[in-house]
Structure 1
Amino acid sequence: MTSAGRFAPSPSGELHVGNLRTAILAWLFARSTGRRFLMRVEDLDRARAGAEAEQLRDLAAIGVTWDGGIVRQTDREHLYAEAIAQLTAAGLTYECFCTRREIQEAPSAPHAPLGAYPGTCRNLNDAERDARRAARPAAVRLRAAVAETTVRDVLHGDYTGVVDDFVLRRNDGVTAYNLAVVVDDAVQGIDQVVRGVDLLPSTPRQAYLASLLNMPVPEYAHVPLVLNSDGARLAKRDGAVTLADLARAGVGADEVRDTLLASLGLPSGPLADALAVFDPAALPREPWVWPGA
């Protein structure tokens, strides 16, 4: 299978300029290395009617192109079920009945980050599981054999992060992001993952899970976020930050694209012009403040 990069938005609303900047970077990384560029809609949760069409329209408007059709996670539940069955057969999963509040309030291991699973349900006996199952549906968790692992990132070098018994399937039956993204990338032949740096802390979990499933670990590049003037992560509430909002203010898609390219030290114009001089080593490492926020 030919190697590929990807962009994978969640259709919960319109893309803002921070999302568009990451999409441009993912496209440049893939195209500059001769990879295909794929589009995946991560619609397992929080999908808003019409959002997918809006997002694809905006990506096309700034010149982001992709190869082949659109892949949607809601069409791939059988693949996730197969992966969980594989892990379960190997004794690498268990049922968990904890609420989010119980996890937050439980004592955790020293140096574990807030919210890391403390292992409450890891060693329940059959009677305890039956009693809890009668009161509450179970989530499925990974039975991790390591406390941390290290991944290599193109922009950040070696990054070591916590690996806990994270959720593979929620108690409402929905596949968790950390499992779905690993399976999707492997099945699609995606060997380069470019995304926001806010997802770097979850990457060791995903790399560890890929190794358990005998799936390849992609090359990672976690790119800086776009912030508002207060230094917070950019969001729709920051005003004119989507293409539709900016268009109403008289700012066209080409001008937005050129502003985003300039923030990366790249020439304005079609993305092909930026591709001709694109060098990951020259990319800024710090967050960028959107001038309109």
Structure 2
Amino acid sequence: MMYSGRFAPSPTGPLHFGSLITAVASYCDAKAHHGKWLVRIEDTDIPRIYPGSEAHILACLDAFEFESDAPIIFQKDRLDIYENVIQELKNKNLVYACQCTRKMLGSNAIYAGTCRDLKLAFQQQAIRVKVSDQDICFDDRLQGRHCANLMQDLGDFVLKRRDGIINYQLAVVVDDYLQGITHVVRGADLLDNTERQIWLGSLLNYPQLDYMHLPLAMNDQGQKLSKQNLAHAIDPKQAPKLLQQAIQALGQETVDLDRPSVMLAQAVKQWDISRIPTGTELSGTYL
């Protein structure tokens, strides 16, 4: 099967250096395998979209001379597709309506299945998918064997919120399948999402993907670089310098400063995942 990878940022804030590391790694891994590399904007959580962040993402892709091998898709344009998949799961009795609010659930991290057998009407309720009491495991190319029991660790999880927002877990699984993605390269902060996505994909008879979760860039407070932690937006005008830094952060051989497309081509030729630092965090601090 031909390798098909993707970079899927969310416009809840501008791209930061951690995002750039993911973009570089996903691109280099795809191209080193003579595969495709696609871009998807994950914007289903419409209320959290930060003004101008989508434009910044697209400007950075241009400035760093990343080229998607297919037209960029935007999840907010695909809501009907996700609704159809939810209907498919309804038809199979794999989901149910849930009236529990955050206040009702309190600090409970594991959903107890309170509404599972109530057979509530779906209108204006959250929709949860049923999980089973079993181990789900996968072999991550960097992080090794990873397992979770969703019933014991999480419980039935939400696919659609009460306010109608499609959950990330559903949208990512559906789009990876419809776009023909075979390999996922992303940050280790999403490692614990993987079993949920494997479970959901299995319910839909989707093929299981190959995963590689990258160590995270950290700030001087020991926090991962993120929009929530106010990570600095990357400057498209500094593309060559920042690209060189991202490649070095991934432990790869240094590339010469040049046009970004030339630097990326050199990085692809030198790509070696055995050089990527082990663990879930990069050493050093980043802005």
Q: State whether TM-score is above 0.5.
A: yes
Q: Residue deviations 1:103-151, cap 9 Å, x none?
A: 2345xxxxxxxx2211111122x5xx37xx8xx9310101122344112
Distance change (3 Å), C-alpha of 1:240 and 1:92: closer
1:185 aligns with 2:179: no
2:278 counterpart residue number: 285
Letter in 2 for 1:25: A
| Mapping for residues 132-151 of structure 1, pairs under 5 Å | 137-151=124-138
Q: What's 1:157 paired with? A: 144
1:221 to 2:212 alignment: yes
Q: Show the counterpart of 2:38.
A: 38
Rounded Cα–Cα distance in structure 2 between residues aligned with 1:140 and 1:120: 13
Correspondence list, 1:62-141, <5 A: 62-106=64-108, 115-124=109-118, 129=120, 137-141=124-128
* 1:238–1:176 CA distance, 2 compared to 1 (3 A): closer
1:9 — aligned with what? 9
Task: Determine if contact 1:94/1:141 at 8 Å carries over to the other structure.
Answer: yes
Deviation at 1:77, TM superposition (A): 1.4
Aligned residues: 273
For 2:240, the aligned partner's letter is D
Partner-residue secondary structure (3-state), 1:226: coil
Q: Secondary structure at the match of 1:220?
A: strand
Partner of residue 266, structure 2: 273
TM-score, normalized by length of structure 2? 0.88
For 1:39 and 1:212, how far apart are their aligned partners in 2?
A: 26
Partner of 2:185: 194
Instruction: Map 1:202-221 to 2 at 5 A.
Output: 202-221=193-212
The 1:277–1:153 alpha-carbon spacing in structure 2 relative to 1, beyond 3 Å, is: same
In structure 2, C-alpha distance between the alignment counterparts of 1:105 and 1:148, rounded to whole Å? 24
CA distance in 2 between partners of 1:149 and 1:172 (Å): 30
Deviation at 1:237, TM superposition (A): 7.8
Say whether the 8 Å CA contact 1:149–1:160 is kept in structure 2.
Answer: yes
2:49 aligns with 47
Unaligned runs of 5+ in 1: 107-114
Pick 1 or 2: higher relative contact order, CA cutoff 8 A, min separation 6: 2
1:118 partner letter: A
TM-score (norm 1): 0.86
Identify the range of structure 1 (78-87 vs 203-212) with the bigger mean alpha-carbon deviation.
78-87
CA separation of 1:119 and 1:239: change in aligned 2, threshold 3 A: closer
Distance 1:23 1:5 in 2: 10
Contact 1:148 1:204 (8 Å CA) reproduced: no
**Change over 3 Å in CA distance of 1:146–1:83 after alignment to 2:** farther
Counterpart CA distance in 2 for 1:236 and 1:177 is 17
Distance 1:290 1:65 in 2: 30
Task: State the 1:3 CA deviation.
Answer: 4.1
8 Å Cα contact 2:191-2:213 kept in structure 1: yes
Q: How does 1:251-262 map to 2 (within 5 A)?
A: 252-262=238-248
User: Structure 1 290/2 Cα, relative in aligned 2: closer, same or farther at 3 Å?
Assistant: same
RMSD of Structure 2 on Structure 1 (CA)? 2.2
Aligned equivalent of 1:111 = none
The structure-2 alpha-carbon separation of the partners of 1:40 and 1:143, relative to structure 1 and needing over 3 Å to count, comes to: same
Moved more, 64-73 or 220-229: 64-73
Deviations, residues 41-80 of structure 1 (Å, cap 9, x unaligned): 0011122333212112113323322112110111111221
Distance 1:10 1:86, change over 3 A: same
Secondary structure at 1:158 match in 2: strand
Identity of aligned residues (%): 38
For 1:37 and 1:183, the matched residues in 2 are separated by: 17
Larger CA deviation: 65-74 vs 234-243 = 234-243
Task: In structure 2, give the amino acid aligned to 1:211.
Answer: S
- Give structure 2 stretches of 5+ with no counterpart: 257-262
